[in-house]
Amino acid sequence: MRTLINKNGFTLIELLVVIAVIALLLSILVPVLGKAKNQARTVMCQSRLRQWGMIFTIYTDDHDGYFFEGWYEGCDGNGVWSFVVWPWREENPKLSYCPMAKKTDDDGARMPFAAWGTADSQFYGSYGINSWVLNPPDEIESTEGHLTRNNWRRASVSGGGMIPLLLDSQWVDGWPEAMDEPLESEDQGWRDAGDATVNNIRRFSVNRHDENVNTLFMDASVRKTGLKELWKLKWHRSYNTSGPWTSSGGVQHDDWPEWMANFKDY
């Protein structure tokens, strides 16, 4: 007698093959989709930094080309950039955040994807300003040991395409120096790295964009900056762009902490 076969169903082997094919496709597509999502966030981050470029241009144009005072010992804090530009931030709160870092550690976020400050105040965000651009009073000679004679103070300066203004950051601001050492691990917070008055470049060494941070420069341009490239930027007037953490300064592969060792050299 001829065996009857149900043409409307699948055999067990056929089902297993289909499941295996679906699993294979998912293993290929999920990383691709995840990468595409991160790339979209990177583009959105850069777009927000460009908007900040326009905001800072408006501010400096209205103040004879000068930036705000920033923070220094004895000030009332009103010159800190996050307070000065509050009207623009209040109108568009998303501007304060890189899309990769929208929550603080209090909300469960971890470095390098954590924002700073308190969301229900005027002091929050995940971008930080290069404090060397600021314009403190003439009588203030130093801030946290950093000499203010090195400050740029004005927006219109030569070589603006290598002078960072605002970028991905663990904190609201920072005074990087050529001697600053990198974070010991990718998830280390700058507060956990010792004396807060030194190694300020650690505040900006946040691996949010595949070995890069997004950076707004003094000339209003925006681009990705390699994490090791941070030591090559012209942070202040006397900054040595061939310091000990650069290729021209003699840094070796083994000098870098393990998490950064294989990143692109500069």
CB neighbours of residue 156 within 10 Å: 11
For range 167-192, the mean pLDDT: 94
The rounded radius of gyration (Å) of the Cα atoms in the chain is: 24
Q: In this predicted structure, which of 4-13, 39-48, 126-135, 184-193 has the lowest mean pLDDT?
A: 4-13
Would the pLDDT of 193 be above 70? no
Give the tokens for residue 18.
């289909």
Would the pLDDT of 88 be above 50? yes
pLDDT of residue 4: 47
For range 114-140, the mean pLDDT: 94
Quick: pLDDT tens for 25-84: 766 766 655 566 778 899 999 999 999 999 999 999 999 999 999 999 889 989 999 999
Task: Supply the DSSP symbol for 66.
Answer: B
With bands split at pLDDT 50, 70 and 90, how would you rate the model's confidence at 262?
A: very high
Taking the CA atoms of residue 228, residue 231, residue 232 and residue 238 in that order, the dihedral angle to the nearest 10 degrees is 180
With bands split at pLDDT 50, 70 and 90, how would you rate the model's confidence at 1?
A: very low
pLDDT of residue 8: 61
Chain CA centroid to CA 254, Å: 25
Quick: pLDDT tens for 225-243: 999 999 999 999 999 999 9
Rounded to 5 degrees, what are φ and ψ at 82?
A: -65, -25
pLDDT of residue 7: 56
Residue with tokens 């997004």: 214
For range 86-102, the mean pLDDT: 93
pLDDT of residue 70: 93
Contact indicator for 128, 159 with CB cutoff of 8 Å? no
Instruction: Name the strand (E) or helix (H) holding 127.
Output: strand 127-130
Mean pLDDT for the chain overall: 90
